[in-house]
Amino acid sequence: MASSSDSSTPRGEPWVWFTGLGLIIGLGMVIGLLSLVILNGVTVFWAPQVPVAQVDDGRTIIGQLAQRRIRAGSTAENPRYERQYQVGLRELNGNSYLWVDETKIKAEVFPDDVLGLERVEHGPAFVRPQSLRKSDGKVVPITDPAFESALQAEVAAAAAVREKFEEITRHRIGDVNHEMDEARVALRRAEDLKLADEIAVRRRQIDGLEERFVVLKAEAQKIVNGGAVAVLDSKDAAGREVAIPLTQIVRTWFPNRLDTWGRTQLFASRLGEFIFDEPREANTEGGLMPAIFGTLVMTVFMSLLVTPFGVITAIYLREYAQNGPILRVVRISVNNLAGVPSIVFGVFGLGFFVYVLGGSIDQLFFSDQLKYNNNTPVFGTGGLLWCSLTLALMTLPVVIVATEEALAAVPRGMREASLATGASKWQTIRDILLPASAPGILTGVILAMARGAGEVAPLMLVGVVKLAPTLPFDGNAPFLHLDRKFMHLGFHVYDLGFQSPDSDAARPMVFATTLLLIVLIICLNLGAITIRNRLRARFKGASF
Amino acid sequence: MPEIMNPPSSSRIKVRPATEREGRKDYITIKDYGFWYGQKKALDAISLDIPERQVVAFIGPSGCGKSTLLRNLNRMNDLVDGISHEGDITINGRSIYDPGLEVISLRRRVGMVFQKSNPFPKSVFENVVYALRVVGVRDRAVLEEACETSLRKAALWDEVKDRLDDSALGLSGGQMQRLCIARAIANRPEILLMDEPCSALDPIATGKIEELIHELKEQFTIVIVTHSMQQAARVSDRTAFFYLGKQIEYDTTEKIFMNPSQAQTEAYISGRFG
Ligand SMILES: Nc1ncnc2c1ncn2[C@@H]1O[C@H](COP(=O)(O)OP(=O)(O)OP(=O)(O)O)[C@@H](O)[C@H]1O
Ligand SMILES: [Mg+2]
């Protein structure tokens, strides 16, 4: 007796510790990852103080501290650090970022006239402003107490002009271009088929469009030329004169003057731009609206595709299929499908969905488009629909397995009660089994969504791009353009991290984008979990 | 008579006086019936006739096949894989295995109440009218009417009439069981099968359901499986005693309890085994 209890302690305490250790290690890794992403992602938008630093070699640097690291070659006991400053003014300095040996920095001061600029082109800048040439010709020197408010007003005015310009060039001219493309295809078709009336109509339409285009272009030009442009005259760290037209400036701030409230406002405004604006500067600046939107639409669409497919398959497997070796093989295959690397699904999606399915759709429904538009495919190229379908296929096993389990977990009594009242099998499934297993099915959908939203590799093959000029959703019928290529947060992270020409500028954005992707997935999941809990509450208290 | 018989427990068992029990036509006829779960024979050579509008009790020790026989009357066992049978069961002269007879229409005529109450996770109202919805009744008035009649017959109307739209899962155990009875009789079946309907209930709820059985007998033919000798004696007109898948004795309840012809029956009723 005693010996047997020696070999396995009666209460199995070591195992409690052992399993607990597993949990702690797992939790630790997850928390570590999350805090790394959150810390780095959130601080991107926080504006720190910006020093003016004197370096031994005579240089002066104005820049925001980006990183600090131990120099290669220095010993661990006696570490020497180097700092990376974001100095901006890429067109003058050649590079936005600069590494400096910490021991070489003689002095660091924080004068409150340092001005940070976010610009439409060439990245940010840190300068010491001298004076502002306002659009009405007056000059406001930095010493004037009204300088800051005058600058704000001019920046806002310039932004309004820029917005108007963009509205015309991007949206209204974009619409004209869209119509023009369609008209040209129609004209080519008419010419080919020798439809005299149609040719005349189309010619007239194209002429009309061309007129509109000229008018719009003139309007845009007028905005550019109209009214004098305010200019900010400043000096850079080396004392060189820098004149920046305010139409180039997105945002200004005095990093060494701001109090905490000011910094918070700046933070909020930058975060808002990040979420609601479109990207600039090879995606390293601006916002992520198209990517957020693309990810959302794609994930939701994928869920809408995978749920009915998965549920129907599971119903057949669990309720109708004859138990036997074939069913077992099918089950094993379905489970194995979940283990297939996602890139394989991408290749399949490209080969089957895009080329075969999409190609056939084009042949059948868009043959005119193909023939008269230089063989430009519509559905025969990557797009939102094919991405959603590919991911739906990839996440299908998750939904099937979850649904099968949910169906199996419905108490036998309920099923029998339904059948005993004379309900047919299908009625029992529809009225009793499906409602009762809805929470379990939704759990599967949640898992599928989580997996699908974070997937990148297959999407690169079937329709996600670095920069999509148009959203998959707009005002032109049919509003949701399933054939369009789109941007995706996961791919954006990859693109920023590994494909960006300016890796230093991209680094903070990688974290911010990752954070956004995580938050988005959490939001999607929370939404689904809320629905599931609502459903569960309806079955609460079931005592079977 | 009591002196002659004097089974130890018979003093506790009260048998209802025999009133117009005989002379009705047989309704369910089970003939030389045998049943297998895979290789395992669960029923062997069962032959019994159940007259119209009577209550028949199935008694016997656990595992003797009472539920199996009951569940074959509405072919509920079809859900189990690998079953087979021999002999025949006819209801009103027609075999339940007649290929021309759909299982669904059989089940609509043979209602069933289970040992564990199993209301659907729907409202009380939807639970009761489920059988009507299944056959496509949409008319609200008809549904409401059926709901009220069934709940009244199940002696539940007064307790739930104000909460018809609440979830049925909020009812007490006894109420749930009566709800299941109401659900089973809502589409007016001809036969009602009850598998230990009171096993999870307290004496008061049991009493209510037993009263209910008396009333339902006016319209339905009832087959009830029970482990309680008292209950069998109180509610049934005829009793069948099974043992190890075999039918040992089938007779009027009075005869089975007062003067069983088989020693095994007497032993079981008096509590000497089982
Ligand atoms: N689904 C099944 N598959 C295989 N064997 C079964 C199945 N259901 C019942 N049996 C077997 O058939 C025999 C009769 O079972 P049954 O449920 O009819 O007994 P019972 O008389 O209702 O018992 P109890 O009073 O405990 O409910 C038992 O030996 C049981 O193990
Ligand atoms: Mg039983």
Predicted confidence band of residue B225 (pLDDT cuts 50, 70, 90):
very high
Averaged pLDDT for residues A288-310: 91
Angle of CA points A424, A425, A428, to nearest 5°: 85
Q: What is d(CA A401, CA B55) in angstroms, rounded to the nearest whole number?
A: 46
Give pLDDT, residue A475. Answer: 67
Q: pLDDT, tens digit, for every residue of A118-132? A: 888 888 889 999 988
What is the per-residue DSSP string for A321-365?
A: SPPSHHHHHHHHHHHHHTTS-HHHHHHHIIIIIIIIIIHHHHHHH
Give pLDDT, residue A277. Answer: 83
Mutate to test the pocket of ligand 1, among B46, B58, B59, B64 (most ligand atoms within 8 A of CB): B64
Report CA(B69)–ligand 2 centroid distance (Å).
9
* CB-closest option in B108, B114, B134 to A416: B114
Q: Check B118 against A414: CB less than 8 A apart.
A: yes
Q: Which two tokens stand for residue A189?
A: 């078709």
A248-280: b (≥16 Cβ within 10 Å) or e: bbbebbbbbebeeeebeebbeebbebbeeebbb
Contact A232, A249 (CB under 8 A): yes
Tell me how far the alpha carbon of residue A416 is from its chain's centroid. 49
Cβ atoms < 10 Å from Cβ of B16: 14
Q: What is d(CA A209, CA B197) in angstroms, rounded to the nearest whole number?
A: 81
Helices in A167-320 by DSSP H: which ranges? 173-193, 196-225, 260-276, 289-315
Task: Specify the range with the lowest mean pLDDT, choosing from A109-113, A207-211, A500-504, B250-254.
Answer: A500-504
User: Does pLDDT of A258 surpass 50?
Assistant: yes
Q: Which residue of B has its CA nearest to A436?
A: B121
Q: How far away is chain A from the Cα of B26, in angstroms, using its nearest Cα?
A: 23
Q: Check B170 against A541: CB less than 8 A apart.
A: yes
* Mean pLDDT of the residues in chain A: 85
With a 6 Å cutoff on the Cβ, whether B63 touches ligand 1 is yes
Q: Which residue of A has its CA nearest to B173?
A: A543
Q: Which two tokens stand for residue B209?
A: 């359901």
> Residues of A with CB below 8 A from B76's CB?
416, 419-420
Averaged pLDDT for residues B143-161: 90
> Residues of B with CB below 8 A from A411's CB?
118
Angle of CA points A435, A437, A441, to nearest 5°: 110
Q: pLDDT, tens digit, for every residue of B86-133? A: 999 999 888 999 888 888 989 999 999 998 888 998 899 999 999 999
* CB-closest option in B105, B112, B119 to A420: B112
Cα separations in angstroms, A238 against A52, A61, A235, A248, B229: 11, 8, 8, 22, 106
Cα separations in angstroms, A103 against A60, A120, A324: 15, 35, 76
> Residues of B with CB below 8 A from A440's CB?
none
**Eight-state DSSP code of residue A53:** E
ipTM of the complex: 0.86
Tell me how far the alpha carbon of residue B59 is from its chain's centroid. 11
Q: pLDDT, tens digit, for every residue of A261-271? A: 999 999 999 99
| Adjacent-strand bridge partners of A140 | A132
* CB-closest option in A323, A413, A422 to B118: A413
Q: pLDDT, tens digit, for every residue of A499-533? A: 877 778 888 888 998 999 888 888 888 888 888 88
Compute the count of residue pairs across chains A and B with CB atoms less than 8 Å apart.
Answer: 77
Q: Which residue of A has its CA nearest to B115?
A: A413
Which residue has better confidence, B30 or B271?
A: B30
Cα separations in angstroms, A514 against A37, A496, B199: 7, 10, 59
Predicted confidence band of residue A469 (pLDDT cuts 50, 70, 90):
low
Mutate to test the pocket of ligand 1, among B58, B59, B62, B68 (most ligand atoms within 8 A of CB): B68
Report CA(B203)–ligand 2 centroid distance (Å).
20
User: Does pLDDT of A174 surpass 90?
Assistant: no
Report CA(B68)–ligand 1 centroid distance (Å).
6
**Eight-state DSSP code of residue B39:** T
Contact A287, A274 (CB under 8 A): yes
Cα separations in angstroms, B77 against A199, A399, B28, B65, B256: 74, 30, 18, 12, 29
User: Does pLDDT of A4 surpass 50?
Assistant: no
Query: What percentage of residues in chain A have a pLDDT greater than 90?
Result: 21
Q: Kindly report the protein residue whose alpha carbon is nearest to atom 6 of ligand 1.
A: B37
Task: Quote the pTM value.
Answer: 0.80
Helices in B79-163 by DSSP H: which ranges? 103-109, 124-128, 130-134, 140-153, 157-160
Is it true that the peptide bond before A501 is cis, omega within 30 degrees of 0? no
In one-letter notation, the amino acid at residue B32 is D
Q: What is d(CA A87, CA A238) in angstroms, rounded to the nearest whole number?
A: 12
Q: How far away is chain B from the Cα of A328, in angstroms, using its nearest Cα?
A: 16
Q: Check B131 against A421: CB less than 8 A apart.
A: yes
With a 6 Å cutoff on the Cβ, whether B71 touches ligand 1 is no
With a 6 Å cutoff on the Cβ, whether B70 touches ligand 1 is no
Predicted confidence band of residue A541 (pLDDT cuts 50, 70, 90):
very low
Q: Kindly report the protein residue whose alpha carbon is nearest to atom 16 of ligand 1.
A: B65
* Residue B41, Cβ density class (10 Å: 0-12 exposed, 13-18 middle, ≥19 buried): middle
Q: Kindly report the protein residue whose alpha carbon is nearest to atom 14 of ligand 1.
A: B65
Q: What is d(CA B203, CA B193) in angstroms, rounded to the nearest whole number?
A: 21
**Among B16, B17, B47, B18, which residue's Cα sits nearest to residue B32?**
B47
Total residue count of chain B as it appears in this document: 274
Give pLDDT, residue B207. Answer: 87
Q: Does A541 touch chain B (CB under 8 A)?
A: yes
Contact A288, A374 (CB under 8 A): no
* Mean pLDDT of the residues in chain B: 85
> Residues of B with CB below 8 A from A435's CB?
121
Averaged pLDDT for residues B202-212: 84
- Sign of the dihedral through C-alpha A489, A495, A496, A497: positive
Averaged pLDDT for residues A47-52: 90
Q: Which residue of B has its CA nearest to A433?
A: B120
Averaged pLDDT for residues A238-255: 88
Q: pLDDT, tens digit, for every residue of A329-378? A: 999 998 888 889 999 999 999 999 888 988 888 888 887 777 777 777 77
Ligand 1 atom closest to the CA of B115, numbered from 1: 27
Q: Does A543 touch chain B (CB under 8 A)?
A: yes
Q: Work out whether strand A249-253 and strand A115-119 pair parallel, antiparallel, or are unpaired.
A: antiparallel
With a 6 Å cutoff on the Cβ, whether B244 touches ligand 1 is no
* Residue A5, Cβ density class (10 Å: 0-12 exposed, 13-18 middle, ≥19 buried): exposed
Q: Rg for chain B (alpha carbons), in Å?
A: 19
Give pLDDT, residue B23. Answer: 46
User: Does pLDDT of B271 surpass 60?
Assistant: yes
Q: pLDDT, tens digit, for every residue of A132-162? A: 888 888 888 888 888 888 888 888 888 888 8
Q: Work out whether strand A64-70 and strand A81-86 pair parallel, antiparallel, or are unpaired.
A: antiparallel
User: Does pLDDT of A66 surpass 60?
Assistant: yes
> Residues of B with CB below 8 A from A417's CB?
114, 118-120, 180, 183
Task: Specify the range with the lowest mean pLDDT, choosing from A9-18, A96-105, A166-175.
Answer: A9-18
Q: How far away is chain B from the Cα of A446, in angstroms, using its nearest Cα?
A: 23
